[in-house]
């Protein structure tokens, strides 16, 4: 069993086929070590154990809003996640799903636990309170034989992991400051991401943002010229760095600017890690992402890197919940 998993491509599923889900499919297309066999959206799914036709899936989703309409292997379903878990043979899933309501991802994790499925799950969750719900499932995940890696996008994810590595120069960590810049051409390409960002704006919360119609979102963005500026966000980078033993969560801050009308980043995404060395010097390491890298590249790349790392753990019988700050992602070829 172990030999088979390390020699043949990892069979991957992507749940959620919006902005990130589709980018994830494109990221996987040229990979030899992973094969995308199933994707699901809220109206259906497409499964082919030989590997999906990614272009066909993306074009039917664009035209008809569900991969379930695909003539070949597409299935319409109002319970697509449950159906996929039951019908598809998959080693690991990237959960590119909206976390709306804020309990949604934990509910999906429970569905996997209850189904008896075993393998690797990776998410790109953002809120601290969402990761806290998963922590409560730690022993259930372990017993179920599931290796679950949470917070494996860009922030949390790539930047949190970079902070954990950078912290090693110091004897004490004073602050971790994450500032992100995101540029997207139109908000409709990433509806859940933008709604979840609006939920951090003053006067909004997850429930009010979730209840907004697309027209209401567009009207709000008209008022702000398409810009969402955020500071002191509830972001799981804090709990992840605390759990990894780097620093207490109150030393971690996250904020940023999202431009929903321009793919150019409004500012360079970076993380600054300030601390004291063993010699008593105070210093700051800065890790800055290249401006040409999109949000999709910085989320989907790490997500699959963590999925590969999760497979290695799972094959060794190591199950349960891990965060992007405790595991080193592997590079998917
Ligand atoms: P989106 O709105 O573009 O797409 C969501 C997809 O999920 C759609 O295909 C929809 O049909 C599907 N879906 C919704 N409910 C479903 C259900 N019950 N069953 C099956 N499918 C369902 O979303 P997006 O903008 O790609 O964002 C996805 C998630 O990624 C969000 O939670 C967002 O916050 C997160 N994200 C994380 C980071 C990070 O750095 N950690 C960055 C960006 C986005």
Ordered DSSP codes for 192-233 = HHHHHHHTTSTT--HHHHHH--HHHHHHHHHHTTTEEEE-S-
Query: Is 333 considered catalytic here?
Result: no
**Per the residue annotation, which of 31, 42, 132, 200 is the catalytic one?**
200
Q: Where are the alpha helices (DSSP H) in the chain?
A: 2-7, 19-28, 54-64, 80-87, 104-115, 128-135, 138-144, 158-166, 191-198, 206-211, 214-223, 237-243, 295-315
The answer to whether 166 and 147 are in contact (CB under 8 A) is no
Pocket of ligand 1 (CB under 6 A): 15-21, 40-42, 80-81, 96-99, 124, 126, 153-157, 190-193, 196, 295, 299
pLDDT of residue 5: 47
Domain boundaries, the chain: 10-154+296-323, 158-290
Q: From the CA of 97, how far away is ligand 1's center (Å)?
A: 4
pLDDT of residue 299: 98
Ligand 1 pocket test target in 19, 23, 44, 98 with most atoms within 8 Å of CB? 98
Protein residue whose Cα sits closest to atom 16 of ligand 1: 42
- pLDDT, tens only, 285-332: 999 999 999 999 999 999 999 999 999 999 999 999 999 999 999 999
Query: End-to-end alpha-carbon separation of the chain, Å?
Result: 21
The answer to whether 321 and 306 are in contact (CB under 8 A) is no
Place of tokens 């497979």: 311
pLDDT of residue 242: 98
Cβ neighbors of 319 (< 8 A, separation 6 or more) are 141, 142, 143, 144, 145, 146, 147, 313
Ligand 1 pocket test target in 42, 161, 199 with most atoms within 8 Å of CB? 42
For residue 20, which atom of ligand 1 is closest to its CA?
A: 26
For residue 192, which atom of ligand 1 is closest to its CA?
A: 2
| CA 49 from centre of chain | 24
Query: Is 231 considered catalytic here?
Result: no
Provide mean pLDDT across the span 45-74.
98
Q: From the CA of 162, how far away is ligand 1's center (Å)?
A: 24
For residue 156, which atom of ligand 1 is closest to its CA?
A: 41
pLDDT for residue 250 is more than 70: yes
Q: From the CA of 197, how far away is ligand 1's center (Å)?
A: 12
Protein residue whose Cα sits closest to atom 43 of ligand 1: 193
**Per the residue annotation, which of 35, 126, 235, 265 is the catalytic one?**
126
pLDDT of residue 241: 98
* CA–CA dist 51, 43 (Å, integer): 21
In the chain, % of residues over pLDDT 90: 98
Neighbours of 55 (CB within 10 A): 11
pLDDT for residue 197 is more than 90: yes
Q: From the CA of 193, how far away is ligand 1's center (Å)?
A: 7
Query: Is 126 considered catalytic here?
Result: yes
- pLDDT, tens only, 122-175: 999 999 999 999 999 999 999 999 999 999 999 999 999 999 999 999 999 999
276, β-bridge pairs: 172, 282
Cβ neighbors of 149 (< 8 A, separation 6 or more) are 120, 121, 122, 123, 306, 307, 309, 310, 321, 322, 323, 324, 327
**Per the residue annotation, which of 11, 196, 242, 285 is the catalytic one?**
196
321, β-bridge pairs: 148
The answer to whether 43 and 80 are in contact (CB under 8 A) is yes
- pLDDT, tens only, 108-129: 999 999 999 999 999 999 999 9
Protein residue whose Cα sits closest to atom 14 of ligand 1: 42
Provide mean pLDDT across the span 207-230.
96
pTM value is: 0.96
pLDDT for residue 192 is more than 90: yes
Work out the burial of residue 327: count CB atoms within 10 Å of its CB; fewer than 13 is exposed, 13-18 middle, 19 or more buried.
Answer: buried
The answer to whether 47 and 38 are in contact (CB under 8 A) is yes
* CA–CA dist 257, 252 (Å, integer): 18
pLDDT of residue 71: 96
pLDDT of residue 3: 46
Work out the burial of residue 331: count CB atoms within 10 Å of its CB; fewer than 13 is exposed, 13-18 middle, 19 or more buried.
Answer: exposed
**What's the CATH number for 10-154+296-323?**
3.40.50.720
Tokens at 269, concatenated: 């995404």
Average pLDDT over all residues of the chain: 96
Q: From the CA of 172, how far away is ligand 1's center (Å)?
A: 36
């Amino acid at each position: 069993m172990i030999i088979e998993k390390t020699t043949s491509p990892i069979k991957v599923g992507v749940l959620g086929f919006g902005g990130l889900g589709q980018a994830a499919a494109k990221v996987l297309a040229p990979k030899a070590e992973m094969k995308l066999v199933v994707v699901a959206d809220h109206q259906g799914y497409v499964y082919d154990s030989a590997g999906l036709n990614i272009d066909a899936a993306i074009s039917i989703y664009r035209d008809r809003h569900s991969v379930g309409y695909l003539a070949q292997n597409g299935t319409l379903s109002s319970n697509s996640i449950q159906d996929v878990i039951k019908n598809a043979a998959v080693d690991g899933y990237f959960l590119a799903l909206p976390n709306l309501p804020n309990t949604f991802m934990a509910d999906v994790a429970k569905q996997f636990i209850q189904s008896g499925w075993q393998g690797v799950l990776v998410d790109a969750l953002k809120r601290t309170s969402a990761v806290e719900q998963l922590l409560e499932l730690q022993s259930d995940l372990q017993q179920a034989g599931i290796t679950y890696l949470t917070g494996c996008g860009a922030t949390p994810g790539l930047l949190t992991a970079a902070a954990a590595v950078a912290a090693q120069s110091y004897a004490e960590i004073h602050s971790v400051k994450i500032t992100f810049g995101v540029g997207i051409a139109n908000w409709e390409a990433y509806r859940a991401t933008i709604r979840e960002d609006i939920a951090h704006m003053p006067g909004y919360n997850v429930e009010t943002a979730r209840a907004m119609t697309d027209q209401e979102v567009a009207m709000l963005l008209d008022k702000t010229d398409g810009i969402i500026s955020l500071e002191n966000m509830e972001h799981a980078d804090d709990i992840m760095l605390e759990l990894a033993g780097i620093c207490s969560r109150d030393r971690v801050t996250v904020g940023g600017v999202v431009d929903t009308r321009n793919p150019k980043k409004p500012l360079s995404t970076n993380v600054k890690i300030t601390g004291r060395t063993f010699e008593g010097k105070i210093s700051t390491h800065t890790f800055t992402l290249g401006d040409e890298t999109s949000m999709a590249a910085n989320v989907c790349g790490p997500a699959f890197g963590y999925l590969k790392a999760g497979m290695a753990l799972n094959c060794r019988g190591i199950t349960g919940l891990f965060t992007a700050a405790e595991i080193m992602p592997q590079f998917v070829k």
